Amino acid sequence: MIPVRLARGLAPLLLAAVFLAPTCASAAANDRLASKSITQVYTVQTTVFALAEDARSFSWLNLFVSSDSAVGVRTVDWPWDGAIEGGTPWRLSMLLNANYTSPASDSLRVARLAAARSTAILGDAPLALRGDSLVFKDAPVSTSRGAALTALAVKGDTALLGFGRLGLAYARLNPVETATRLVTDSTVSFRGLPLADSNSVPLITCRWNTLCRSDSVTVPAGGLDSVVSLALDTTAGGPWILIATPKGLRRGLWRGTSFPYVALPGIADSAPEPVRSVFVSPSAPRAWAFTGRKVFYSDDHGATFRVPPDSLAPAFPVSRLTNYSTTRAPQVGFAGDTSFINFNMDSVGIARFGHDTLQVNSVGLDLDRVLINANDSLDVSSEEALTGVTVARNVGASVLVLGTARQGIFYRRLDLPAKTFVNLTSRAALKSGLGEVITYPTVFAGPGTAASPEYVRIGYRLKKSGKVTITVYNYAMEKVRTVVRNAPRQGGVPRSESFADDRWDGRDSSGRLVSVGTYYIRVESDQGEAAFGKVICVRGRK
Amino acid sequence: MKSRSSALYGVLGTLYCVFSVPSFAASPEVLGGHEGWLDRMGAGVRELGRGNTGTALEGASPAAYWNPALLPFIRKTEGALGADVRSQDRNGGFVSLQGRVASNLGLGGGVINRGDLNVQAYDKDENDIGFARPQAFATYFGVGMRTSRRNALGASLLVYTSQLDLGGGTGKVNFVGGINLGWYRRYDSLNAANLFPESWTSTRAVADFFSGSFSSAVVVRNLGLNPRLSAEFDQSVSDGQPDPFGGFGGGTSSDFFPKTLVIAGEWRKNLWDRNFTLSGEFMDYQLKPQIFTPNPAFHAQAARVGVECELAERTYLRAGMDRLNPTIGLGYGYRVNRRRVITFDYALTMERGIMTFNPYAFGIKTEF
């Protein structure tokens, strides 16, 4: 009798213990970022800009290496509304290489400049030059305006613009990031590149982003070359400008007037091949140039070019590296003396070029043979799916970033051999409206060293912009530390927009390491949103 | 005269504990993880309902944790079981078995559990690495011995285990060797008015109100078996697999449980035909693995108060304040037969730091 009554008494307790616990342990269902089609990636210092084409819209993926070598990612919808002064509604269809040595906040402006490629610069003047991207006097209105920005390179606060057959122009960037006007110059002078002469010629001077008042364009005898791609070599004196054109590769000094052709081995002057893309290492004298069928490299800042010998890659001779994609030119990312090349070929994807080796992942060779190690998890169904390659650098850290047509972005740390590729689409998509807070790494073994401190990153997504306070509590819900207090944060951003601030170093308010155990991080906004994340500290105080 | 002075010390000690609460409760508290639940959150649902005061409570469960000197005052063998779930998926529970094995000797054991049922874990690159369910178990084996009818000493041994349930071996703690030492003394039917001269009429009147039964206790928790007398433990940080947690390659990391000094008192009196109990505890945590450091930077203090009223026969209403976190408790003793009562306990706690109520704490206790 007693056991029966005892059992009856215990039953509610047991039921509570069994059923209440799972109920309270709300499952954190994680959506996944939709796979993106990446059309371009490029680097501005530690920031990688990736252009993702999603149906008819575009968005940024901003991936960067912070000072403590962590890789942070935030996705930013493209805020550009096309309202450039005097401009036409634009359509961003490409991002161009930029190498800009200014603070990271300026990189967005550079990207905007590159995005404004369809902006009207020329207008109703009776300009006579016919050809790609010039304005025609008697042509129908629908085709009579606009000069396409085809190439871009940046040095300091000055952008070097390539405008097809209009040649080159310099423009000073507006230091105010939020300004509508992207450049401070009121006029832009275009210098054309004659086919028959290495000296550039003045063509026309127009007001930036408005109608051009010139009556005509003086086209030199023999016609004009067209700027397809630009690269700026700032590692040597000059700096040197390398220009890919339909008639070959040209080279000249920054703000110089002479741009002679550079001899490319195997290509006769009488039968020039169009150079589709050119790249220059930001830290080494190496440069790469690609025609439709051949690849060339330089070890002297682009003064001379060579063809990589077949002996560098016995398994896949360089001479077989032909027939690149007709829609995408090859791309190169640099990490020290190593070049990572995306040939954009059906059967050949990323190649790694070292001092005297060229590893190519031909059919039958996995990417791990070429890239990093056997644990690399980069898994693209077709090499053709690779659409971009670039390398982001920071002190002691570098990140290889690959864009793919169907699976978004892959990235991996190059300075940590044990690291493998991470697919951005595998990262958790945070619920909107501060539905959850994630911490990474959740199992925290910090605090690292003074030279390389470790942090727990705090990711959240606000529904509305507001002031955020982030507080760390211990298991007994006693306040341990206030990490951020009333800091303004933007709403709708899928990750914290302040990667450098929204983090915890595993210390209490007195600066002492906390003991091992579970900690709770509360993010609350003055707009009434609040949520918790959790951290398990495994590094003891002794 | 001797008994009068000792009683005075007991009363003063109790009053000190009770009335010093507000000032100490405002002290900064930065204790963290393991001790955060072990020495901050206590054990036992009955004790939780009355502000987590159990150090000077006869019949506290598990007494091996609260104060092993309480063990010889337990008249019958008793078992207790409890569980609670708090906000943010924190879970906890306890089980205890304790009783007197001789007229002056008591033995007891108890297991206290705390953990989190749901920690979504990501690595440094924000890759999902699964759910962690960190769970810790503190097992106490205690013995208490009466040195007189009202006085007892006790000691207990802590065996502690913890794991993350995340794979890879990270986060495991296996620790044996924490020692709790306790002292307990009771003062039955103490007439506090007799402590003052007969000419102090008003003072004696107040003291008469507070006359009743008292008890006091002192416990030192988390002593270690090393020259520093510090309860130190190792936690595995990585099992040697490729660096899933951000580049740390070491195998273990060391930490310690803070030495905790608890001074507790309890006052019992029958008022308005109801039994009242008022308890108070003061705690000092030493946050440095030394025998003792006088540096206040390495000490944190906390205090608790609790009251229990027997509203009707075997029906209890409890309230308390644990470091300014209010608690409310209920208890009901169901008489199975003349010799056996099963007591059901419930507690509601509020955590002031995050302004959250925790309504799920249930316990059961019976005698054998």
Ordered domains of chain A (ranges, CATH): 38-79+328-337+360-427 (no CATH), 428-537 (2.60.40.10)
A-B interface: how many C-beta pairs under 8 angstroms? Answer: 234
Chain A contact set for B255 (CB, 8 A) = 515-516, 540-542
B67 belongs to a structural domain = yes
B330 phi/psi in degrees, rounded to 5: -130, 150
In this prediction, residue A366 carries a pLDDT of 45
- From chain A, the residues in CB contact with B297 under 8 A are 510
Q: CB contact, 8 Å: B306 with chain A?
A: no
Torsion of CA A109, A113, A114, A115, to 10 degrees: 90
Judge contact between A508 and A480, C-beta under 8 A. Answer: yes
Q: Is the CB of A440 less than 8 angstroms away from the CB of B353?
A: no
Q: Quick check: B32 contacting A, CB < 8 Å? A: yes
Q: Is residue B201 part of a domain?
A: yes
Nearest to A441 among B29, B245, B360 (CB): B245
The residue range of the domain holding B42 is 2-311+335-367
Phi, psi of B174 (to 5 degrees): -130, 115
Give CA–CA dist A1/A6, Å, rounded: 9
Series of mean pLDDT values for 10-residue runs along chain B (368 residues): 52 48 41 62 91 92 95 93 94 94 94 92 78 90 95 95 72 83 89 79 81 92 91 69 39 82 93 90 90 87 94 94 94 91 95 91 93
Least confident of A248-257, A427-436, B73-82, B85-94: A427-436
Question: B356: which strand partners?
Answer: B351
Across the range A407-428, mean pLDDT stands at: 70
ipTM for this prediction: 0.86
Q: Which two tokens stand for residue B37?
A: 């639940």
The DSSP code for A156 is T
CB contacts under 8 A, B 168-197 vs A, are 170-171, 173
Q: What's chain B's length in residues?
A: 368
Would B326 be classed as within a structural domain?
A: no
**DSSP 8-state assignment for residue B11:** H
Q: Is B34 on the interface with A (CB under 8 A)?
A: yes
Task: Please tell me the pTM assigned to this model.
Answer: 0.65
Q: Using an 8 Å Cβ cutoff, are B320 and B52 in contact?
A: yes
* Of the partner residues A12, A28, A542, the one whose CB lies closest to the CB of residue B120: A28
Closest Cα to residue B95, out of A4, A21, A20, A17? A17
Q: How far apart are CA B221 and CA B226, in angstroms?
A: 15
- Mean pLDDT across A39-62: 59
CATH number, domain of B27, equals 2.40.160.40
pLDDT at A431: 66
Cβ-contact B168, B241 below 8 angstroms: yes
B207/B188 Cα distance (integer angstroms) = 15
A504-521 confidence digits (pLDDT tens): 999 888 888 888 888 999
Give CA–CA dist B96/B108, Å, rounded.
7
Subunit contact B323:A444, Cβ cutoff 8 A: no
Three-state DSSP class for residue A486: strand
Task: Flag whether residue B296 sits within 8 Å of chain A, measured between CB atoms.
Answer: no
Contact B364/A at CB under 8 A: yes
How many domains, in total, are found in chain B?
1
Q: Which residues contact A89 (CB under 8 A, 6 or more apart)?
A: A82
Say if the Cβ atoms of B126 and A428 lie within 8 Å: yes
Which of A436, A354, A256, A342 has the alpha carbon at shortest distance from B122? A436
The residue type at B243: D
B332 touches chain A (CB under 8 A): no
SS3 of A510, please? coil
Cα distance between residue B141 and residue B35, in whole Å: 18
Q: Is A454 in contact with B246 (Cβ distance < 8 A)? A: yes
Around A249, how many Cα atoms within 13 Å sit in the side-chain half-sphere? 31
